[in-house]
Amino acid sequence: MARAPFTYPFCYTPAPDIVAAAKRLICFLDSPSGSWGPENFASLIPPTASQRVPPVHEATGGHGFPPPTATSASLKEGKMLGVLKVEDDKGDIDYLYAFSGTVGGRATLPGFVPPIYDLTEPEGYFRRREAEISAMPAGPERSAASAELQAWIFDRYRVSNARGETLSIREVFARRGLIPPGGTGDCAAPKLLQYAYDHKLTPIAMGEFWYGASPASEVRQQGCFYPSCTGKCGPLLSFMLEGLEVEANPLDREYTTDTEPRMLYEDADILVAVKPAGMLSVPGRTRAISLLEWLRQRYGEVHSCHRLDMDTSGVMVFARKPAAKAALERQFARREVIKTYRARLVASDRPFNHARKGTIALPLSLDYYDRPRQMVDREHGKMAVTEYEVLRQLPDGQIDIRFIPKTGRSHQIRVSAAHAAGLGRPVKGDRLYGCPDGGRLFLHAESLSFLHPASGERMTFEDKSLS
């Protein structure tokens, strides 16, 4: 039977065996400290597999993570972990594990693959030179020395791909005319792939997931899988995956669905339509047809006035004349348009300790190294204000909720739902801020109310088709 393509790391739904392997690791890390022995770590993998990473030794105190008390939330700084399913030349299957960055100042822990290059050696050149630079007075000499040390680091990080080619990280980025950001190469995914190539193992599937307490800025939930960042890992993983058959980017797919856009209203000035989930609002970088193009095929001249994310469904208004477009855009800019969204939040083992109605206010900014994600940035972010109302809690723990955004920040509803400083519950099916399950994003623009650009009459359109 033909093997499935390898995971596309920048947008994916984790394979079931990757999810199962992640759960085994989380259960192990959450176990009482007294059971952190080598025999327990070996139980993480199927009985038919053999663990190919350094063994756990009793003298190290187990895997090295701080011991949780009741839950993994006691790990003050959460950590992105990764699991890689590999096959050896005999056809045996293994699961490899890695963590991003360091844990407790250590880059190497028993049971996890080692770093591509270990900078934590106390007597190594990096530590010695770092101390010398720290002692320098601020100025051009110190800046030049820091840049020289950074270049030295990225020359030591050497990575391979499935074709057997090897380059330094600096060379990988230079091919694109880029300089690697600090920390490149220390994420779980490149560690896992490099270990596999070094040991002649074939990568089959991969996933990266969060363990521990949520950070203050990024949206991270215990046990949820997240795509690799595009800033640090984009160029790096693209090179390391060369020679593997990799899944197509789901965002590049042609738009295919049994659900077509539905018209709610039309006149000489405006069109109101319901956009299906998975359809672009306006033309993007792919050839997939957008709602704007779909309308132009049927109505001729049509202009966009606002957007919905591709994965979000719901009510949209379009202008048929430039004057109508200008009038509608003024209303959006002045926040005179009233919008409501219906969403379903995922179930959780943590209680939902929020009022039935409330307001979420978070300062958001673009995560520069992980576009298009937004992050909470209390220094430079722009405030995103969202009202919510809990509609019902389902028997399985999922929550139906209505959101009313008072500002128009990118992804503000999704971040307000998922972030620990918001509701702490991702929208079901959210591939950026939640746990992707292969289904649609349960976020729907339920109603839109605005003044007609010609008559000035208040018009409200509603669609409750989210299911």
For residue 73, what pLDDT is reported?
A: 41
Q: What is the pLDDT of residues 240-296, one digit of tens each?
A: 999 999 998 876 665 555 678 999 999 999 999 999 998 999 987 777 789 999 999
* Count of CB atoms situated within 10 Å of the CB of 221: 23
For 228, counting Cβ atoms within 10 Å of its Cβ (0-12 exposed, 13-18 middle, 19+ buried), the class is buried
Taking Cα atoms as reference points, which of 319, 293, 284, 291 lies closest to residue 304?
319
Taking Cα atoms as reference points, which of 306, 304, 303, 317 lies closest to residue 274?
317
For 14, counting Cβ atoms within 10 Å of its Cβ (0-12 exposed, 13-18 middle, 19+ buried), the class is buried
Distance of CA 99 to the CA centre of its chain: 16
What are the sequence ranges of the domains in the chain?
A: 16-117+157-248, 252-462
Q: How far is it, in rounded angstroms, from Cα 206 to Cα 222?
A: 18
Q: What is the pLDDT of residues 112-147, one digit of tens each?
A: 999 999 888 767 788 888 888 888 888 888 888 888
Asked if residues 409 and 307 have their Cβ atoms less than 8 Å apart, the reply is no
For residue 58, what pLDDT is reported?
A: 33
What percent of the chain is modeled with pLDDT above 90?
A: 61
Average pLDDT, the chain: 87
Per DSSP, the three-state class of 457 is coil
Tokens 């690799």 -> residue: 228
Entry field: residues in the chain: 467
309 is catalytic: yes
Residue of 186, 309, 367, 463 marked catalytic = 309
Q: Which amino acid is at 428?
A: K
Q: Which amino acid is at 459?
A: M
CATH architecture of the domain with range 252-462: 2-Layer Sandwich (3.30)
* Count of CB atoms situated within 10 Å of the CB of 332: 15
Asked if residues 190 and 271 have their Cβ atoms less than 8 Å apart, the reply is no
For residue 74, what pLDDT is reported?
A: 42
Q: How far is it, in rounded angstroms, from Cα 366 to Cα 380?
A: 10
pLDDT tens-place values along the chain, 467 residues long: 678 999 999 988 899 999 999 998 888 887 765 444 444 444 444 433 444 444 433 333 344 555 443 344 444 568 999 999 999 999 999 999 999 998 878 888 888 999 999 888 767 788 888 888 888 888 888 888 888 888 898 999 999 999 999 999 999 999 999 999 888 999 999 999 999 999 999 999 999 999 988 888 888 888 889 999 888 899 999 999 999 999 988 766 655 556 789 999 999 999 999 999 989 999 877 777 899 999 999 999 999 999 999 899 999 999 999 999 999 999 999 999 999 999 999 998 888 989 999 999 999 999 888 888 899 999 999 999 999 999 999 999 999 999 999 998 999 999 999 998 999 999 999 988 987 777 889 999 999 999 999 999 999 999 998 75
